[in-house]
Amino acid sequence: MDGQAPDSNTQYRAGSITKTFVAASVMQLRDAGKVRLSDPIAGYLDDGAAGAAGSMTIGQLLSHSAGLRAETAGPWWERTQGSSLAELSAGSLGEEAARFRPGRRHHYSNVGYALLGALLSAQHGRPWYDVIASELLRPLGMHRTTTRPRRPHATGYAVHPYADALLAEPEHDAGAMAPAGQLWTTVADLAAFARFLAGDSPGLLEPTTLAEMREPIVINDLASQPWATGYGLGLQLWNVAGVRYYGHTGSMPGFIAVVQITDGPGTDTAIVLCNSTTGFSRSLGTDLLGILADGEPYCPPEWTPARVSDDLLDLLGPWYWGPAPFTLRLAGDLLELHMQDGDGRAMRFRRDADGGWVGVDGYQAGEPLVPVIGQDGSVKALDIGSFIYTRTPYDPAAPVPGGVDPDGWQAAPAVQSV
């Protein structure tokens, strides 16, 4: 730092926070119809460039569920000069590169993000950084996020574990591995990026795509506790005491970093950049957000009545799946179907482009909710993924699968002793 005090405009290495930029650009390609997450990566790269990872899908690489090796086969890439994609493929993507069957488990892979950076380059016809610069950085006003340091920037150090002594860490161009952790950035730039991830910068990615990126695809399961960390599409996920967060951590020689965002109302964000190889605890982001929530709790906006159409009002209220009672209510722009006396969980439905309703989460995620209209024009039942919900338990006037016993509800037969 040349003796200057750091501020929000001082550059630090972002490390693996770089991966979230790469992932967002890949999702832009997906939304534009240029790639599919279920496609093998080999279909988008030059012949043989993906090596043994060729059959692994774009979605698996984004979520670290492809089973690909974590690091390169050569010297530790974070401290050595980078190489080309061809050299990376020849040295690190042979038959031994697969550590697990694709889709089996979470296995963090820096090498996988090198391939995703190559995908961006191949689709856009220019280097991966030029892609994220034009598609994300400039639209977000992130003019201090670069692949190499620009003054003012921090110097990366290792701190001796048993003395107050420093050792300068190396910095270099990581070549083909750069998409896994090359970026330098600032607190101010990361604040802009966090607002984008939280949906406050419309026009770059649809809210539904951002929500998709933070859905848990793989989790780090520990036998001693419920899942605490997981991974979506380019986003790390945390589940701490029932509160969920998303973002990413970063680590490169001489630097550690974290961007962590509360997944819920308020979308508070913690950003930490440190120029030391080791330093703060893994819980720092969660700890800071906890302090913020205690000191400045989220205040919901003032309640205002909603305008609800009569046909939508007709759907709300009590419904029965067989004999099990449910309640359908409107919450904002979502329909929520709760089981009465249940555990509080709900199946939620959102309007689709055609004006119908489709499941957002829960058992019926992706399934349509279709009102069944009777001859008199009233709603007789709800058809949700072939499950029929009726206004009364097993209503004989509704299309209950298998029909309803014509004798109707009866008293239980007397039990006779033998």
Do 377 and 229 share a structural domain? no
pLDDT(1) > 60? no
* DSSP state, residue 137: I
User: What pLDDT, in 10s, does the model give residues 76-109?
Assistant: 899 999 999 999 999 999 999 999 999 999 999 9
Q: State residue 418's pLDDT score.
A: 63
CA–CA separation, 292 and 294 (whole Å):
5
Percent of the chain with pLDDT over 90: 83
Q: To which H or E segment does residue 373 belong?
A: strand 368-373
| 398 inside domain | no
Give the mean pLDDT of 355-369. Answer: 93
Are 15 and 37 in contact, with CB atoms under 8 Å apart? no
Show the DSSP H helices in 198-317 as ranges. 207-213, 284-295, 310-313
Q: Is 40 strand, coil or helix? A: strand
Q: Which of 272, 295, 318 is the last residue of a domain?
A: 295
Please report which confidence band the pLDDT of residue 242 belongs to, taking 50, 70 and 90 as the band edges.
confident
Residue entry with tokens 């001489």:
254
Q: State residue 2's pLDDT score.
A: 63
Distances (CA, A) of 344 to 215, 327, 339, 340: 20, 11, 8, 8
| 6 inside domain | no
| 207 inside domain | yes
| Domain residue limits at 359 | 310-390
| 2 inside domain | no
pLDDT(228) > 90? no
For the chain, what is the mean pLDDT? 94
Do 290 and 318 share a structural domain? no
Do 238 and 97 share a structural domain? yes
pLDDT(262) > 60? yes
Do 267 and 370 share a structural domain? no
Please report, as a single letter, which amino acid is at residue 136: L
User: What pLDDT, in 10s, does the model give residues 145-194?
Assistant: 999 999 999 999 999 999 999 999 999 999 999 999 999 999 999 999 99
Do 203 and 84 share a structural domain? yes
Do 162 and 87 share a structural domain? yes
CATH, residue 352:
2.40.128
Do 141 and 194 share a structural domain? yes
Give the mean pLDDT of 233-245. Answer: 93
User: What pLDDT, in 10s, does the model give residues 44-63?
Assistant: 999 899 999 999 999 999 99
Q: Which of 295, 327, 360 is the last residue of a domain?
A: 295
Q: State residue 270's pLDDT score.
A: 98
Give the mean pLDDT of 203-229. Answer: 87
Please report, as a single letter, which amino acid is at residue 85: L
Q: Which residue has the higher pLDDT, 388 or 4?
A: 388
- For the record, the structure tokens of 10 come out as 């001082």
CA–CA separation, 369 and 336 (whole Å):
11
pLDDT(224) > 80? no
Give the mean pLDDT of 373-381. Answer: 91
CA–CA separation, 180 and 243 (whole Å):
28
Q: State residue 178's pLDDT score.
A: 98
| 407 inside domain | no
Q: To which H or E segment does residue 204 belong?
A: none
Q: To which H or E segment does residue 22 belong?
A: helix 18-31
Are 286 and 245 in contact, with CB atoms under 8 Å apart? yes
| 42 inside domain | yes
Do 140 and 174 share a structural domain? yes
Do 336 and 249 share a structural domain? no
| 365 inside domain | yes
| 418 inside domain | no
Number of domains in the chain: 2
CATH, residue 56:
3.40.710.10
**What are the phi and psi torsion angles at 109 (to 5°)?**
-135, 105
Do 350 and 238 share a structural domain? no
pLDDT(256) > 60? yes
Q: State residue 225's pLDDT score.
A: 66
DSSP β-ladder status, 324-331 and 317-321: antiparallel
Q: State residue 80's pLDDT score.
A: 92
Do 333 and 276 share a structural domain? no
Nearest CA-CA partner of 215 in 350, 362, 116? 362
CA–CA separation, 367 and 386 (whole Å):
9
Do 382 and 331 share a structural domain? yes
Q: Which of 246, 270, 295 is the last residue of a domain?
A: 295
